[in-house]
Chain A
Amino acid sequence: MSLDDVKTSDFKYVGTSPDRPDGLDKVTGRAKFGADAYAPGMLHGAIVRSPHAHAKIISIDTSKAEALDGVKAIVTRADFATGLTGSNWNVLENIMASGTALYDGHAIAAVAATSPLIARDAVKLVEVTYEILPHVTDVDKAMADDAPIIRAGAADKSVPEGLHPNVVRYHESGHGDVDAGFAEADLVIEDHFRTEATHQGYIEPHACLGTLGGDGKGEMWCCTQGHWNVQKLCSALLGLEASQLRVTASEIGGGFGGKTVVFIEPVALALSRKANRPVKIVMSRSEVLRASGPTSSTSMDVKIGMKKDGTITAAKGVFRLQGGAFPSAPMEFTAMCAFAPYNLKNVKQIGYDVMANRPKQAAYRAPGSPMGAFAVESVIDELCNKLGLDPIDVRLKNASHEGTKASYGPTFQRIGLVETLEAAKAHPHYTAPLKPGQGRGVSCGFWFNFGGETSVTLALSMDGSAQIVVGTPDIGGSRASMALMAAEELGIPYENIRCTVADTASLGYNEVSHGSRVTYASGLATIKAARAAVKILCARAAAKWKIDPEAVDWVDGCAVPSGPNAGDFEPMPIARICASMGRTGGPISGHYEASPEGAGVSFATHIVDAEVDPETGKTSIVRYTVVQDAGKAIHPAYVEGQYQGGAAQGIGWALNEEYVYGEDGRLQNDVFLDYRIPVASDLPMIDTVIVEVPNPGHPHGVRGVGETSICPPLAAIANAVSAAAGVRLHELPMNPPRILAALEKRG
């Protein structure tokens, strides 16, 4: 058999759901997360943050704090590298302000002390004098002529002339002639939609423990989705050589995109360098909400034309995303994903990246895609209602398939949207009767998925067991998935393989665990590394048998003579080959380094039933079904977990969660009591259907599954709520006051 064969059926281990290797540690409290590390002589860091949305920093007086017993170091922007440009400058400016506080919660200075309580006291003793400036937190207001300028000159060359300086990037794409397309339509609907910013809401706050000496050598332990990125950014922000900083990723207590960047890590290192002692920093929940992650808020206009038979003739979208006080809103992803499920002759999408006095947005699960889907899929639903068409039939009629020129440019290879729609239509949920007061909604969703720089080493032990060394932090059970793929290739039991997430000193560069890339890219690299090891195993057996290595097959964990030599020798098991590896040519390992580019795009279709209480405006989700293409589900239970988790986050985004800013530009809801994510009693069971249309770009057919699951929920729930309430909802979250207002307007 050729070692590069793509295998999509007859799996022995892939497609089973064994226990996770980190399970025991996680149910006994032994697993070490970001805040669970301690070091001898360790100090505790705390951060001084701006209480103002926009203010010039006139002076920072640290003398009283320095005089406090137990305070060992204080740092400000002066303790970081100078001369940075581009994204490094933006990251530094976000984690430690220079001349101006740009949002409520912006870091101004930091303190290290011998206890967390002393550090907290010292923060209160740092005296910062501010000159308050006018602020803006709303995306539309930030684009208006009279909006205060966040930072002049931040716009790049893509921005057309005449726009406000807060518009910093512009995107336009599509094909065909939308005006001609709209003229062909029997019905055209254009509507305006808004979504508020939400937070990734990981339960583990950012935490790190850093050590940095005057020799420029450092150690960093932190919860992150990508420790090579932490190494890269921290070394740039502190003026170090990257290879001198070793970063170890802890177990990670949720990330969802929000732990792809740095916030406190460079600060801990700066404090450590100054104090010459290890420094630990752990964010409070309030700091997490005020100064890390949220996603963008949006203002969107979508126009779609449809014929009476359901054919979409043209589609146009304008997507304005606010991404905080830095150029970073993922508006091009919103624009590119919005119409991707549909095979359109005429489509145009425009995106604006707008700055406002809010924290720098960070990626949140399929960044940008859910909001666009909310607007587009709401308009399609409204067209179906007005034309009396079935929403799944209309989507099937227009669905993208292999060979479709995507709305964002490329031509789709083999994709599974039609299969998800057909599975949704056949699901008993779709035809189940609804009770009075309930409505049903459907939506599709799309995410690109991603490859990225990937390094994996697979080393065999003398007893024939295997260790896999990966560099992608395990955020969804990926160590189990890697071990399953390696078991399949090596033909040894899952239990005989241990997968470890290595530190930055132990493996080549690895891109962050994001873009739903890990099971695809680290998985592909694991398979290639295993195949490289199998090649050596076969060669060792061939040498022993004195036959051509090409005449040896690998079957069920054994070297087996093939071709003209078939049957000449007994199969030689892996353990026997490995036992003698030292004297037959040395240790046996396989490794693989590449930036794989065959990540298969992914589609999903969700069905949801919602019940709206007309007295209170409260919505209950009574039934939810996720149908999504996984390409190949390596560990089906963990794939289901991704589907369910994405749907639950989408329910929160659609119904409850939002950043509430006061007139003063301060975040009003910076604790979990007020920023309310779904709790167990808010949700029903979440049914899942795994569709498998193999990705031709992965040896086992894998498509990433982590992100697509959050793309359809906002629209599916909005369509269900609108059906239940008898009035179209255009703004998220659809909380009780907003629903009551819509009901009142309906009359």
Chain B
Amino acid sequence: MSKIHVTTSVNGDAVEFLCDPRETLLDVLRDRLGLTGAKEGCGTGDCGACSVTLDGRVVCSCLVLGAEVEGHEIGTVEGIATGEELHPLQRKFIEHAALQCGVCTPGILVATKALLEKNPDPTETEVRYWLAGNLCRCTGYDKIIRAVMDTAAELREAS
């Protein structure tokens, strides 16, 4: 099967790739672009480990085809920090012990960053429902929720 040529932007960098029409955006990011931060936990859009942003909106990259991202802007976990300076969410996740194995962490960071950009003062319930599509099996979510709430408070204070 002939491959499709796609031009797109990932974390602000211009990117070109060839992909099979059946390959997902997650396959392309990991296997063709070497960006393995997004993880495949299910391949059916149920676990959120592959969360990325597509033009600022959070999507499961396992449910998007590589061929669909022509001309769009993609954001992944690799693009959250600025140089050596971590995003406050990344810092707070470490400080609050909000990760154990860390395999769900990239997707949760992508999702919560988008939440805080949309809603800088979420309630605990709002954070819990926003993250209902991101499964974590290690933490019971307690420390994740605390890290997000604490980051939101810090960002509000700074602004």
Contacts and interface: CB of A to CB of B under 8 A. Distances in A.
B47 A672 contact: yes
A683 to B, nearest CB: 6
Q: Which of A25, A253, A255, A648 has the most CB of B within 10 A?
A: A253
A498 B68 CA distance: 44
B97 A205 contact: no
A686 B140 contact: yes
B139 A641 contact: yes
Nearest to A37: B36
B97 A20 contact: yes
A648 B86 contact: no
Contact of B93 (A27, A203, A251, A284): A27
Contacts of B80: 27-28
A38 B36 CA distance: 11
B43 interface: yes
B15 interface: no
Nearest to B143: A641
Contacts of B67: none
Contact of A677 (B27, B125, B137): B137
A504 interface: no
B100 A284 contact: no
A20 B137 CA distance: 19
Q: Which of B49, B86, B102, B136 has the most CB of A within 10 A?
A: B102
Contact of A475 (B43, B95, B101): B101
Given A201-B137, A205-B40, A641 B94 contact: no
B28 interface: no
A203 B22 contact: no
Interface in B139-159: 139-146
B132 interface: yes
A256 B42 CA distance: 18
Contact of B77 (A28, A638, A686): A28
Nearest to B34: A38
Interface in B102-150: 102-106, 109, 125, 127-129, 131-146
A680 B44 contact: no
A254 interface: yes
A253 B101 contact: yes
A6 to B, nearest CB: 27
Contact of A27 (B109, B125, B144): B109
A17 B93 CA distance: 13
A198 B147 CA distance: 29
Interface string A9-48: 0000000010110111111111111011010000000000
A645 B140 contact: yes
A685 B149 CA distance: 13
A644 B140 contact: yes
Contacts of A638: 97, 100
B41 A681 contact: no
A648 B140 contact: yes
A671 B42 contact: yes
Contacts of A679: 131-135
A3 B133 CA distance: 51
Contacts of B76: 29
A429 to B, nearest CB: 15
Nearest to B35: A29
A204 interface: yes
Contacts of A571: none
A28 B105 CA distance: 9
A203 B104 contact: yes
B47 A680 contact: no
A623 to B, nearest CB: 13
B141 A477 contact: no
Say which size band chain A's interface belongs to.
35 or more
A35 B80 CA distance: 22
Given A672-B42, A685-B142, A204 B101 contact: yes
A33 B132 contact: no
Residues of B contacting A: mostly: loop
A228 B22 CA distance: 38
A203 B41 contact: yes
Contacts of A255: 101
B22 to A, nearest CB: 6
Contact of A204 (B41, B97, B109, B128): B41
Say which size band chain B's interface belongs to.
35 or more
Interface string A685-701: 11000000000000000
B33 to A, nearest CB: 12
A253 B39 contact: yes
Contacts of B31: 38, 116
A28 B81 contact: yes
B90 interface: yes
Interface in A667-687: 671-673, 677-681, 683, 685-686
Contact of B137 (A35, A256, A476, A637): A256
A714 to B, nearest CB: 15
A686 B140 CA distance: 8
A9 to B, nearest CB: 24
Contacts of B81: 28
Contacts of A204: 39, 41, 101, 103
Nearest to A200: B137
Given A204-B101, A681-B132, A685-B145, A27 B86 contact: yes
B99 interface: yes
Nearest to B97: A637
A23 B39 CA distance: 17
A29 B140 CA distance: 21
A117 interface: yes
A640 B134 contact: no
A641 B132 contact: no
A477 B77 contact: no
A36 B35 CA distance: 9
B141 A29 contact: no
A260 interface: no
A540 B49 CA distance: 52
B78 interface: yes
A745 to B, nearest CB: 32
Nearest to A652: B137
Contact of B44 (A251, A644, A672): A672
Contacts of B90: 27-28
B140 A647 contact: yes
A285 interface: yes
Contact of A285 (B41, B106, B134, B141): B41
B159 to A, nearest CB: 22
Nearest to B146: A685
A28 B103 contact: no
B127 A680 contact: yes
Contact of A671 (B44, B133, B141): B44
A29 B77 contact: yes
Given A27-B99, A254-B101, A645 B138 contact: yes
A28 B94 CA distance: 11
Contacts of A117: 20, 22-23
A203 B136 contact: yes
B74 interface: no
Q: Which of B35, B81, B125, B139 has the most CB of A within 10 A?
A: B139
Nearest to A480: B97
27 contacts: A23-B99, A24-B86, A26-B105, A27-B86, A27-B105, A28-B80, A35-B30, A116-B27, A203-B49, A203-B101, A203-B136, A251-B103, A253-B39, A254-B137, A638-B97, A641-B143, A645-B140, A647-B140, A672-B44, A672-B46, A677-B137, A679-B131, A680-B132, A680-B141, A680-B144, A683-B140, A686-B142
* 7 closest cross-chain pairs (CB), A and B: A29-B37, A253-B103, A648-B140, A26-B102, A672-B46, A644-B140, A23-B94
Given A29-B35, A203-B136, A253-B102, 9 more contacts: A26-B99, A27-B77, A28-B80, A29-B76, A117-B23, A645-B139, A672-B47, A680-B128, A680-B136
Interface of B: 20, 22-23, 27, 30-31, 35-44, 46-47, 49, 76-78, 80-81, 86, 90, 93-97, 99-106, 109, 125, 127-129, 131-146
